[in-house]
Chains A and B, each alone.
Chain A
């Protein structure tokens, strides 16, 4: 277990556009917006060199894609919530770091590549996070995709590679993980003023997860990731990966001060804004029973072994 960290603090926040486009429609959306605003100030005052964004709404297939366009610019519209309005953006990306991260990922056995194309469709989650947390581009950012087929070992290694790149460049980062807690939305249009978590079960799981976050038990959450995926995640991808990446990037331990700035419903899904700051204290004494992976070996070819 390492406590050395290039991370000043970590943020977990939801991908939905309501806090950006329509905070006035529901008090909860407004609470989320206030939490973003609070964190915006804390990031500005943190002395961070870079904001590192891992977004679950940017799926990749060919390895792990990393945004490297120095000034990506477009006007984005969400597939579901297009009626809430458009999201014009222009971000400042640390291309030098993006390339470093790609090389660090390759050194750990991952297939990785940067993307730097005019008009590349940056995802809703990344746009919401960067627009609200870093609206004036005071700090350069880097955005990392979430490979739809990757599982634990690959994601853990991807997180470690982020730390490698930060160490190589001597940069201090604020990491931002863009993901819902429970991600089951209502499948019909609702009156935003009547928004709520989709079910009591989702709400209870979310609140249990928030207890872990509040206690700074990030590595414990990482170990619980498969359970979380089975209980409150729509099975769109192979696994619930954001806490794997976050824990690996932030040091794989439970030594954090956790703060829940907001927890609200976003069209039925669980939207929480959380800050985790590295500290000296530790909570929990779980026996971690999954391998700690340093290098990604690729598929094990289980199907091919023993075949006639």
Chain B
């Protein structure tokens, strides 16, 4: 069996506003658009993914937050209605998705063998979080590939950003081992914003772009520093400053997704593909991809 490998890593923010703005048939509310910089970036990355041969999408989500270890989806099918608890006015999405349980179990075992607290989630009534749905929908609106969702263990809350980094790194390495042993070609998805301070009010028309801007300039400067380092291929350095960045910007990197993905990809030292950066209700969101194949790697923006 050929050794499995990661064929692409994606930083894929999940504001439900992006699905809302796309008006897919699965989502009940109707919008007049909005957040085009991000949506068009996502559309371009989705087109790239159509030309990449992969078997499964593995996604790490902050909106399945677990405090007792890291959990993995462990049933082959989930279909239900996802209503965003924060923005129910814009996201009521009917999903029907397939899980690669074999790979999920392999990653869970690999993580457990390396000393990480783990659990398989096998309750059929479990509702898939909107982070998973938003990122996966924007990357693959056809939903024609199975996924694996990994919960985010909240080490940053319980311990510190440094502990989060260490444990997410260990999880990334364990997942890579399982992927290599599986023989599968895998797309990794780290689902989150960068800076993550929200406005606490919403305009009457959520997609009114005259009201959209970053929460404050400090968040913007930090986000640009991170995007610049990604563009320069300095992902080890990005992970090194992650605790301070997370604290300064209340960044959603606190959940560990980016550290997990970078560890699984051995901390890329090549330039990331930048697909877009825009604020959503004040938060900073970048769509970024890491393509290990130098022949298909692009300078997008």
Contact = CB atoms under 8 A, between A and B. Distances in A.
Q: Do A and B bind each other?
A: yes
Interface of A: 58-63, 75-77, 79-80, 82-83, 85-86, 111, 115, 117-121, 123, 147, 149-150, 184-189, 234-236, 267, 303
A86 B85 CA distance: 19
A75 B80 CA distance: 11
Contacts of A85: 123
Contacts of B201: 62-63, 111
Contacts of B88: 115, 117, 120
Contact of A185 (B64, B68, B71, B199): B68
B158 A187 contact: yes
Interface string B82-125: 01011111001000000000000000000000000101011101
B interface: dominant SS? loop
Range class of the B interface residue count:
35 or more
A77 B68 contact: no
A120 B126 contact: no
Contacts of B153: 187
B69 A187 contact: yes
A248 B67 CA distance: 31
Contacts of B119: 83, 189
29 contacts: A58-B85, A59-B85, A59-B86, A61-B198, A62-B198, A62-B201, A62-B202, A63-B202, A77-B123, A77-B125, A79-B64, A79-B65, A79-B151, A80-B66, A80-B71, A82-B121, A83-B119, A85-B123, A86-B123, A117-B83, A118-B81, A119-B83, A120-B88, A123-B85, A187-B68, A188-B69, A189-B68, A235-B157, A303-B216
Interface in B127-151: 127, 151
A83 B117 contact: no
B127 A121 contact: yes
Given A61-B200, A83-B119, A188-B117, A75 B125 contact: yes
Given A60-B86, A118-B81, A189-B119, 20 more contacts: A58-B85, A59-B86, A61-B281, A62-B198, A62-B199, A76-B125, A79-B66, A79-B71, A79-B151, A80-B67, A83-B123, A111-B201, A115-B88, A115-B89, A118-B92, A119-B83, A187-B117, A189-B69, A189-B117, A234-B157
Q: Sorted from nearest, which 8 A-B pairs have the closest CB atoms?
A: A86-B125, A82-B123, A119-B81, A77-B126, A119-B83, A75-B125, A117-B88, A111-B201
Interface of B: 64-69, 71, 81, 83, 85-89, 92, 117, 119, 121-123, 125-127, 151, 153-154, 157-158, 198-202, 216, 281
A274 B58 CA distance: 44
A82 B126 contact: yes
B200 A63 contact: yes
A60 B198 CA distance: 11
Contacts of A121: 83, 85, 127
Given A77-B123, A119-B83, A185 B67 contact: yes
Contacts of B83: 117-121
A149 B202 CA distance: 15
A234 B154 CA distance: 10
B131 to A, nearest CB: 12
Contacts of A303: 216
Contacts of A150: 200
Contact of B68 (A61, A117, A188): A188
